[in-house]
Amino acid sequence: MKKLLSVMLVLTMVLAIVGCAKEEGPETTTDQGAKEIVIGANIYNFGDNFMNGVVSPALKEYADAAGVKINIVDSENQQNKLNDQVDIFIGQGVDILAINLVDPASASTIIQKAKDANIPLILFNKEATEEGAMAMYDKVWYVGTASADAGIIQGDMMVNDWKANANWDKNGDGKVQYVLLKGEPGHPDAEARTEYSVKAFDAAGIPVEELAMQPDPNWSTDGGNDKMATWLASFGDSIELVICNNDGMAFGAINAMKEQGVSIPVYGVDALEQALNHIADGEMNGTVLNDGKNQAKAVIDLSVNVANGKDPIEGTSWSLDEVKAVRVPYVAVTPKNYADFK
């Protein structure tokens, strides 16, 4: 009897040890047994054809290549929804937060949540506009662009083309009469692209006259189509140039012009595949490569490094500026070089 009790006691102790070891082990492991890195990410609005059509699939592609898991959700352009999604990610115990802000002026809310949970945070594509927000937390970084550059490059293209095509000045007054399709009000990219694209004409000594400007919080093709149709009805042949903060709205403007049998010079930003096709067909005069693929790669590169306790840019080609930001450069895309980007 004593021998039987001894055997049972030993078995009980062994089972207890095995059970504890299982309970304390990693919840998610790779084939090699190491804990898998999990990134909780969002896109501010799946309705944005650049963010959902270029950046989101690139994030998945580079995450797969790096052997990490990424969960991407749609914030539907609602800050409250994003706040809740971040809370859920934190509750799930993700290793990294990769956040495409809905409202750049509310960045501190997201940063504080990450800080309280001690989870590293990569903001991307929409830069925080609150002064001092990035200094709130030592584990927050930004991946995006230098917003003004897109407007500067777009403006330089338009100025050069205007000078080379005297017939674009329909009324011969030496002044550019333009309409402008603007992106989301308050978005750093929309504000900078709007300002600097027009400033290029001022810098070149070419007078401009804004016939109309309309913001679209969704940067949408439908919005561009509807507004351009309205402007054609209102201004007719007075429109000499169509400036668009992104390609999506430019596509809408082109659709409206084609429906009315009108051709007006039009420029966008993003260098989407459809934009390259419009340039090839002579329906669009230029765009600016907003390098969403490399932005996604930088997000994944930084995420993997910080999740492994390394310097965020260790072993990469990226560099950080004074506000802890990786800036991916823009590139001009014209009828002369568009084929290089297909």
- Which pLDDT score, from 0 to 100, does residue 34 have? 61
The secondary structure of residue 243, as a DSSP letter, is: E
The answer to whether 338 and 280 have CB atoms below 8 angstroms apart is yes
Q: Which of 39, 31, 25, 70 is nearest to 308 (CA)?
A: 39
Q: In Å, what is the CA distance from 109 to each residue of 80, 105, 152, 299?
A: 10, 9, 32, 20
Residue among 77, 76, 98 at smallest CA distance from 86: 98
| pLDDT 10s digits, 121-177 | 999 999 999 999 999 999 999 999 999 999 999 999 999 999 999 999 999 999 999
The pLDDT assigned to 11 comes to 38
Q: Which residues lie below 8 Å from residue 286, measured CB to CB, with a gap of 6+?
A: 154, 157, 158, 161, 267, 268, 279, 332, 333, 334, 335
Is residue 68 within 8 Å of 303, Cβ to Cβ?
A: yes
Structure tokens of 172? 């011969």
Structural domains in the chain plus CATH codes: 38-145+291-328 (3.40.50.2300), 148-290 (3.40.50.2300)
The residue whose two tokens read 């409202």 is: 103
Sign, CA dihedral 59-123-218-250, equals negative
Q: Which residues of the chain have pLDDT under 70?
A: 1-34
Q: What's this model's pTM, rounded to 2 decimal places?
A: 0.81
Token look-up 């709007």 returns 194
Helical residues (DSSP H) of the chain, grouped into ranges = 2-24, 49-50, 56-66, 79-92, 107-117, 147-164, 188-203, 221-235, 247-259, 273-280, 292-307
- For residue 190, give Cα distances in angstroms to 197, 204, 272: 11, 22, 17
